[in-house]
C-alpha cells in the first residue's frame, strides 16, 4: 500500500516545488491563490523527473489504462 517506490523521488521533487512556491509567495506577500498556480509546474516536475529516472512520465497504472 502507499506510493510505489518509483514515485517517491518524483513526488518529493513536486513537493519541493510547491513548498518553494509557498515560501516565495509568503515572502512576497502574495495571496494564497497565486501560489496555487505552481501546481501545474509541480506536475511537470513530477513527470520530467520520473521520465528521466524510469523512461515513463506517468505511473504504470495510468499508462496501461
Range of the domain at 35: 5-63
Q: How many domains does the chain divide into?
A: 1
Residue 43: predicted pLDDT: 95
CA-wise closest residue to 22 among 7, 8, 32, 11 = 32
Residue 1: predicted pLDDT: 60
Q: CA-CA distance, 51 to 37, in Å (whole number)?
A: 23
pLDDT string in tens for the chain (65-residue length): 677 888 899 999 999 999 999 999 999 999 888 888 999 999 999 999 999 999 988 877 777 65
CA-wise closest residue to 14 among 35, 44, 34 = 44
Residue 64: predicted pLDDT: 66
3-state secondary structure of 7: helix
3-state secondary structure of 49: helix
Q: Model-level pTM?
A: 0.83
Residue 39: predicted pLDDT: 94
Amino acid at each position: 500500500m502507499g506510493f510505489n517506490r518509483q514515485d517517491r523521488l518524483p513526488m518529493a521533487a513536486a513537493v519541493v516545488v510547491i513548498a518553494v512556491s509557498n515560501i516565495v509567495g509568503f515572502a512576497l506577500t502574495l495571496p494564497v491563490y497565486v501560489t496555487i498556480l505552481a501546481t501545474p509546474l509541480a506536475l511537470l516536475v513530477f513527470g520530467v523527473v520520473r521520465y528521466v529516472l524510469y523512461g515513463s512520465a506517468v505511473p504504470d497504472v495510468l499508462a496501461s489504462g
